[in-house]
Amino acid sequence: MTEQQTEQQAINIDARKLFNLGANLLVAGFKNQSPENAKKLFKELKQGASVNSGELSGETSGIKIPIKLELDRSEYKGQFNYPNFELSLNAMLQKFQTEVRKDKELKDLRTLTNEATGGIVFNLPSGVEIQGNLNVMMLCMEPSADCLAVRLMFVDSTQFQEQS
C-alpha cells in the first residue's frame, strides 16, 4: 500500500460524523462565544483567512489532522456584514437542527461528493432573503494534504428560485 493510500484511509470519516463536527464547530465558534469573539471570527473569515479551529485524531492511527474554518462568499449578493451573515448562519443551523430532529441517526443525510478531491457538501441549502437578495448558504468539508477545511459557502441562489 502506498503512503498516499494509507493517508486516504486514515482520513476516511463517516459523513454523519462530519455533519456533527461542522455543526458543533459553528455553534462553538459563533453561538457559544461572546458577541465580540463571534464578530472577531467573522471578520477573520470575511477577510479570507483560514482559521485554525481544532484537530481530528485518528482513533486507531493516532494521526492528527488540523481543522480550519473557511468562508466562501463569492456568490453572496448584497451587503455582507455580521448581522446578515448571522441571519444566514442561524437559518442553516436551524435547518441542521430540523434534520437531526427528523432523523436522529442521520441515516438519510444527503451529501454531494467531489470525487476528485474527496470533499463533500451537505445538501441542506438554507436561503435567507435580505433587502430583496436571496442568499443560500451550505456547509462543505474539503480535505487537503495539511488539513480538513470546514467551509461555509454561499452558492448561486438562482438555482433555488422558483421558475415562473
Over residues 28-87, the pLDDT tens digits come to: 999 999 999 999 999 999 999 999 999 988 777 788 899 999 999 999 999 999 999 999
**pTM, entire model:** 0.85
In the structure grid, which three cell numbers stand for residue 148, read together?
Answer: 480538513
C-beta of residue 45 within 8 angstroms of C-beta of residue 71: yes
C-beta of residue 139 within 8 angstroms of C-beta of residue 149: no
Output 112 or 89, whichever has higher pLDDT. Answer: 89
In the structure grid, which three cell numbers stand for residue 82, read together?
Answer: 455580521
Query: CA nearest 99: which of 129, 134, 126?
Result: 126
Decide if pLDDT at 160 tops 80: no
Query: CA nearest 139: which of 153, 160, 158, 155?
Result: 153
Sheet bearing 64-72, strands edge to edge:
51-57, 64-72, 148-155, 133-143, 120-130, 111-113
Decide if pLDDT at 164 tops 50: no
Output 158 or 154, whichever has higher pLDDT. Answer: 154
Query: CA nearest 22: which of 158, 149, 154?
Result: 149
